[in-house]
Structures are given as C-alpha cells and as structure tokens.
Amino acid sequence: MLNEEKFFSAIIVAAGDSSRMNQKIRKPFLQLNSSPIILYSLNIFQDVPIVREIIVVAKYDDQKIVFNIAKKFNITKLKSVVIGGETRQDSVFLGIEAASSQATNFIIHDAARPLISKNAIQKALKLSEIHDAIALCSCVKDTVKQADNCGFVKKTIDRKQLFNVQTPQIFEKNLYLWAVKNANKKTYTDDCQLIENIKEKVFLFETEDANFKITTPDDLVLAEAILNKRSATNEIYTMKIGHGYDLHRLTKARKLIIGGVVIPYNKGLQGHSDADVLVHAIIDALLGAVCMGDIGKMFSDNDPEFLNTDSIKFLQQVCEKIRIKGHKIQNIDCTVIAQEPKISPYTDKMRLIIGEACGISKNLISVKATTEENCGPTGRGEAISAHAVCLVK
C-alpha cells in the first residue's frame, strides 16, 4: 500500500526536436492508433491516484496544443505546460521548478514512450517506499561487443548485468534537487546519471512492457502493432454492455436534429447543446459500458462552451477517449421514440453519421423508430426520447 501522504508530480518531457521522424508534426502530437502520442502518457498519470499533478515540458509553439488535448480528454491533473530548455536535463529541471511545493517525489517520463502500462508504473511507485531513486529498464537481449579504435572486436561483454534504461524514472525530491545542485554543469542523457554522480544508488526495475522510445517512423508502426495486439488480447476476456436513455421536450424555433441528421419539422428539441436525443443516449451507453460516468459529467449543461454544440462532436471525443483506454466498440443498437415526425426515412443516414463519429462501420449500428401509441409525453407529441444499448470489448 502506497503512503498516501506522499505527493508525486509527474513531469512529461515533450520538448525534443523530433528530427529523425521526418514529419511536419512534432513527435508528441503524431497520431498513434488515432490519438496523439502524448495522450497515452497523460492518460496513464491521470489514472494513477497517487500522482497528484502533471507538468508537461514542451516547445513554445506546442503549449496551446497540450492544453487543448488535456481539455478535450478531461486530463484534470495537468498543472502547467512549461517551455523546455536547450538540453533534456534543462527541460526536466524547468518542469520540476513548476511542480507544487508540497511535492515529495518526481516521476520523470518521456512523452515518446507511450507503451508504458499503468500496472508497471504502479509497481515502480510501490518500490519508491523502499528506494529513493528508481529507473525502469529492460534487459539487453543481444550479444554486446566492444570495438577498438579501428572497428575490430576488442572483447565480448557479459550482457547479464547490462540493461537498457527507460522512463519513467522516480526520485525522492530532496535527493534529486541535491543531485542537480552538484551536477557541476555536466550534461547527462538521463536523470539517473545525476544520482550516480553524487554516489547514490539507483534501483533498476525491469518491466515486461515494450516500453521503447518512438524515434523513427518504423517505431510508430511497431507501436501501433503492439497496441493492437494488447487490445486483442484483452478483448478475449472482457465484454461490457452499456445502456443509455435520454428525453428532450419539443419546442418551437429550434431545428430538429436526431442522430446528426436535420429532420424537417415545425419543432425542435430543447436543450443546452443541439439536444440530439439519440446521440446523447448513445454517449451514455458507451460511457456506462466503460464506467466513465455520463454525458452530464463530461459535457456539463452549465458550461457556456457547449451551448448549441453539435452532439456528434461530443460522440467523437467520447469514442476517442474510449479507444485510448484500450476498448473497442462492437455494436450499438438504438431506438428513437417519437409520435411524429416519421424517423424511419432518416435512419440509414443516421447510421452512417454515427458510424463515422465512432470510427466503426454503419453495419455495426442499428437505429430503429417507434411510437408510444399516443401515450405519455412522447405519445402526446410533447417530447422525443431514445434508448441505446452497446457492446464494448
């Protein structure tokens, strides 16, 4: 059990040049399985309870991008986005300077390592009860040779004691600050070297995760394959069903929008957003299946930002967040309940729009329509309601 009095600040380093990716978009914001690379790290630390805050170190031009990603995906722990320095070591220290004064430990992680798992981080954090400096690592699998100055093999090195050091690296605050103070203007490639420089011990925690750093376009392809394999493995054992329901009153002087389709009618649905009753029911079904709350929690009807917003945009955000957590939508079954107008002429177009928003084929989406035989508020033409049921792996 972790000491709850500890305050862990996560420093995500995303200020590199990304020169070897040969892309116009910088590496932390490239798409990995339809989500920006940096979002994987943000989500991991958001989901680990003992991590109290997140600081991102980024390029000046990327500050707004990071804030927008955090807002879009409800990363509430993001405290600040600071501008990086000339070296990685400078960037990390600038991030640490932005941490809260009550921080007791720092977790330093490269944004370019999106494959680290929550489980691995939690195990490493547990070790911080014993060790003041921890680095995740993997064993060296290849035979290692040392060469002479002419390029010939000088000797073979025993690989049993060799490890590839990764991030995150976890440090007790005072130890790390003392190490920085005694760095004597030396520049190191990782934070462990700061601790080694003051003759303190760093514990190496070997993780089973494929936690490599994305550096080239080939790495991006490999990372996508690993994520897909992880998802497929998890799907075998986890099936989740979600149900959603919504009802909106009919009112004059508003467009009637259902399933992303504008339907000709003399009334529309009353609500803070566009009041798309079908999409709202689908969102609640999806959020319910993965235990992520409800639409009101994610898109409050008290927030002026969401006034008259297209609900399909809400659905896109929800589906992206669901995907990034390793879930896959299998199918959605919906029923719209309206006395009038007739909904059935528009259901095929609704399926197409909803499918595009969810990133799945319209063939996995069913939209049906029925009436309530003049009973209740929907039967009297006062409102329209919708039910949705989804299956998520």
Q: Could you write out the DSSP letters of every residue in 210-221?
A: --PPP-SHHHHH
How far, in Å, are 158, 276, 341, 342 from residue 374 at the CA level? Answer: 82, 22, 13, 14
Average pLDDT of the chain to the nearest whole number: 90
pLDDT of 237 > 60? The answer is no
Domains of the chain, start order: 8-235 (3.90.550.10), 240-392 (3.30.1330.50)
Res. 218: pLDDT tops 80:
yes
User: Cα–Cα distance between 325 and 392 in angstroms, integer?
Assistant: 12
pLDDT digits (tens, 9 = 90+) for 162-209: 999 999 999 999 999 999 999 888 888 889 999 999 999 999 999 888
Read off the pLDDT band of 262 (50, 70, 90).
very high
* pLDDT score for 134: 96
Question: Rg (Cα) of the chain, in Å, rounded?
Answer: 25
Neighbouring residues of 122: CB distance < 8 A, sequence distance ≥ 6:
48
Give percent of the chain with pLDDT exceeding 70: 97
| Residue 322 vs residue 20, higher pLDDT | 322
Residue 383 has pLDDT above 80, yes or no: yes
At residue 322 the predicted structure's pLDDT band, cuts being 50, 70 and 90, is confident
Q: Evaluate the omega torsion of the peptide bond into residue 264 and state whether it is cis, within 30 degrees of 0.
A: no
pLDDT of residue 281: 96
Q: How far apart are CA 294 and CA 280, in angstroms?
A: 9
C-alpha dihedral, 134 to 117 to 48 to 29, nearest 10°: 100
pTM recorded for the entire structure? 0.65
Q: What is the pLDDT of residue 393?
A: 80
- In this prediction, residue 232 carries a pLDDT of 65
Query: What is the structure's pLDDT at 2?
Result: 60
pLDDT at 233: 63
4 or 89: which carries more pLDDT confidence? 89
pLDDT value, residue 45: 94
Q: Is the pLDDT of residue 223 over 80?
A: yes
Percentage of residues in the chain with pLDDT exceeding 90?
66
- Mean pLDDT, residues 41-65 taken together: 94
More confident residue, 73 or 369: 369
Q: What is the pLDDT of residue 222?
A: 92
DSSP label of 86:
S
Q: What is the pLDDT of residue 185?
A: 82
pLDDT for the residue 5: 78
Q: Classify burial at 82, counting beta carbons within 10 Å of its beta carbon; exposed 0-12, middle 13-18, buried 19 or more.
A: buried
| Residue 255 pLDDT exceeds 60 | yes
Band of pLDDT at residue 4, cut at 50, 70 and 90: low
**pLDDT tens track for 98-135:** 999 999 999 999 999 999 988 899 999 999 999 999 99
Q: Return all residues near 252 (Cβ < 8 A) that are at least 6 apart.
A: 266, 267, 268
